[in-house]
Structure 1
């Protein structure tokens, strides 16, 4: 078994290397492309954007070589070494994606790393695409005058002030809240800061959602990972952890009541749009798909960019990261139910020790219990209220045992 000091040294060296590998930043499109596309679209002559990606400031080949040397020093018989190895390997995947930007190979690699909508949710015969289509049908049936997205436009600075109040409970570990231009997503989180996209309309639901999703999940798990004494790589989010991290963040929205039906509908739309693009739709086709499903021109453009960044806007090669949200949500929800039913809350506790996958939780559970893995420094408030959480989970189990179709038949019979 590897010595603790050597594993710590490998982790520290790995972190110094992988912090130079920023996949999402490398896929950024310039603001001018948005301005030009929307101007052309408004005149009835939309043109497919042709992004040019900036050269990386660091030599990715050199970083890969150093990471591979670190891999050669790791044994396979130790759980902490195993997670270190898989995290380093995932960053090598990220380097490969960066190197293949704008090519068909990028799309193939993306599917290998993130999967695709047609993949089955583990343990079921249901695909992510099936789940998205089913949810859209349910969402459509719920639409009525009392369930509508609020027609309001809160500036980013107002939401930033709300988040600043929310992070106060994190003390001196709280991330800074910044308003910045040119983000692809509405928000992005790291251990030290949460960025909000300027010149964007937010609504009343965004503040609570961003607090539990970006701050109390993404920033929190990264902070906890950074404070690991040995497993420092848990402070960095790698492609392999995306599904679990987005699933946990979305689950936190659900369990706290912060989520709204339009938000879930947007997540389902991303899955459908990904499948559409994989079937050959180009940038304009996907843009129009989002328009037809109620998004504004600006949000439709930005949603489409999320999908085609790194790929080929003419079609055939896309970034499939957005297809993991629903899959991750179902898996995290099922994990919570399983862990509470089996009295294995230590599995759930491991979920907050850093940026991990669900599989890592099982690998690292014993290390958490015997002290080789440090306890998380921060926990979200909803998880600390364990009795309330248990009650919500227990009700969800009871609810699945009730035949709602039979209840609907009963209500129909007494409806006037």
Structure 2
């Protein structure tokens, strides 16, 4: 933490309120609170995937949250009231912090509602629903998921774009990733630690200054490259940038609204560094489609069946389907966090495209100055000018020099005006 010296009275007030938010959210662990334990998985596999997992409201009640939810909601309410009292109704940094307090209260309400219908409804408020449109008349996330699946099927039908074999075990992947991240973040004070873990659902997960790799997962070179970009350059990089903020320390912590920005940035980075590939993209479209199925009334076995059709084995099928229903029940509404990837990618891409079109390039790197939320970007620009927020310390190469990125976005803007249907008809003789 930076020392408080050199801050004026106003900055000290902002910092004190910010620290209270950071402190208050510490025990809230969304993914820990919603995940299903090993016994549920074992029971499902024992029944050969024929019976619904044994999860109901009582299951969650037997796994308490680890904090007093009523007291925690009150704590956030008090912080929110003090922000208004000390900074006023319309203070820009106050508005960001108040929204965070409201969001964390909603998160607690969602966790209190585990195993009930309200859980899924609050999840949709926080992360969105697959049936949401981006703009009036535009396709929904579910439509885009299907569209992408069609493109991916056309590629898969070729049969010559096979993935490299996954020959790297977790230990090898850890060492490879560690040496790559040391080059980016430096080896001083062991900035980033990469280690194996057997307690995670995904192949990898990022914390404040570490990346965990699932100990029984296998990887290929391309996977490690994607992890370097996704977990390292984006998730860990923005956390470190948030932690180095001397005043707005809340930027080191991400409420759900920043999850959409985070995952969107991570997928965009995979695309512009050429680290993504069709199988990885299919994983994201499958998650979106599975959430949409559950929103439309499909139960766990039907969603599990969908993953089996997509070529996943019994264990992988369970693991994917349980991501959709964690926090909920096997016949309930889904946990919609996994929509953040595609939704965030589209929102971030559009934002950068517009920033280039309007000549506001200086706003683009600010996406990395911590766990930012897209709707705060204009305010953040002002806060940087005021000296309340520091520009990002760690910034991926692609965002340090905006020449190439803006050239690409200019072409992209221009090409958006052409009709693909018309082009397809015209090119039918040559393609």
1:405 is displaced (CA, Å) by 4.7
1:254 is displaced (CA, Å) by 0.7
- Alignment check: 8 A CA contact 2:43 2:53 kept: no
Query: CA separation of 1:124/1:390 partners in 2, compared to 1, >3 Å: closer, same or farther?
Result: farther
TM-score (norm 2): 0.90
Determine whether 1:91 maps to 2:100: no
Separation in 2, partners of 1:397, 1:317 = 37
Separation in 1, partners of 2:323, 2:407 = 37
Separation in 1, partners of 2:176, 2:420 = 38
Query: CA separation of 1:406/1:126 partners in 2, compared to 1, >3 Å: closer, same or farther?
Result: closer
1:136 is displaced (CA, Å) by 0.8
Residue number among 31, 37, 57 corresponding to 1:24 in the alignment: 31
- Alignment check: 8 A CA contact 1:221 1:352 kept: yes
Per the alignment, residue 15 of structure 1 pairs with: 22
Separation in 2, partners of 1:203, 1:72 = 51
Q: How does 1:119-198 map onto structure 2 within 5 Å?
A: 119-122=132-135, 125-143=138-156, 144-168=158-182, 169-171=184-186, 172=188, 174-198=191-215
Residue number among 288, 300, 304 corresponding to 2:305 in the alignment: 288
Determine helix, strand or coil for the equivalent of 1:150. coil
Residue number among 412, 417, 422 corresponding to 1:396 in the alignment: 412
- Alignment check: 8 A CA contact 1:71 1:88 kept: yes
Residue number among 314, 323, 335 corresponding to 2:351 in the alignment: 335
Determine whether 1:387 maps to 2:392: no
Per the alignment, residue 56 of structure 1 pairs with: 65
Which deviates more from structure 2 when the two are superposed, residues 315-324 or residues 386-395?
Answer: 386-395
1:414 is displaced (CA, Å) by 4.3
1:410 is displaced (CA, Å) by 5.7
CA RMSD in angstroms comes to 2.0
- Alignment check: 8 A CA contact 1:84 1:231 kept: no
Separation in 1, partners of 2:52, 2:329 = 14
Separation in 1, partners of 2:289, 2:329 = 18
Query: CA separation of 1:104/1:414 partners in 2, compared to 1, >3 Å: closer, same or farther?
Result: closer
Determine helix, strand or coil for the equivalent of 2:82. coil
Residue number among 117, 125, 143 corresponding to 1:104 in the alignment: 117
Per the alignment, residue 3 of structure 1 pairs with: 10
Which deviates more from structure 2 when the two are superposed, residues 178-187 or residues 31-40?
Answer: 31-40
- How many residues were matched structurally? 411
Separation in 1, partners of 2:304, 2:23 = 39
Per the alignment, residue 369 of structure 2 pairs with: 353
1:224 is displaced (CA, Å) by 0.9
- Alignment check: 8 A CA contact 1:209 1:258 kept: yes
Separation in 2, partners of 1:175, 1:85 = 31
Query: CA separation of 1:252/1:181 partners in 2, compared to 1, >3 Å: closer, same or farther?
Result: same
TM-score (norm 1): 0.93
Per the alignment, residue 113 of structure 1 pairs with: 126
- Alignment check: 8 A CA contact 2:260 2:344 kept: yes
- Alignment check: 8 A CA contact 1:246 1:328 kept: yes
Per the alignment, residue 94 of structure 2 pairs with: 81
- Alignment check: 8 A CA contact 1:181 1:199 kept: yes
1:113 is displaced (CA, Å) by 1.1
Determine whether 1:235 maps to 2:249: no
**4+ runs deviating over 4 angstroms:** 401-412
- Alignment check: 8 A CA contact 1:102 1:311 kept: yes
Unaligned runs of 5+ in 1: none
1:140 is displaced (CA, Å) by 1.0
1:412 is displaced (CA, Å) by 4.3
Residue number among 274, 279, 293 corresponding to 1:262 in the alignment: 279
1:281 is displaced (CA, Å) by 1.4
Query: CA separation of 1:396/1:148 partners in 2, compared to 1, >3 Å: closer, same or farther?
Result: farther
Per the alignment, residue 69 of structure 1 pairs with: 78
Query: CA separation of 1:406/1:111 partners in 2, compared to 1, >3 Å: closer, same or farther?
Result: closer
- Alignment check: 8 A CA contact 2:41 2:53 kept: no
Separation in 1, partners of 2:48, 2:411 = 49
Separation in 2, partners of 1:202, 1:35 = 24
Q: How does 1:265-344 map onto structure 2 within 5 Å?
A: 265-313=282-330, 315-344=331-360
- Alignment check: 8 A CA contact 1:38 1:46 kept: no
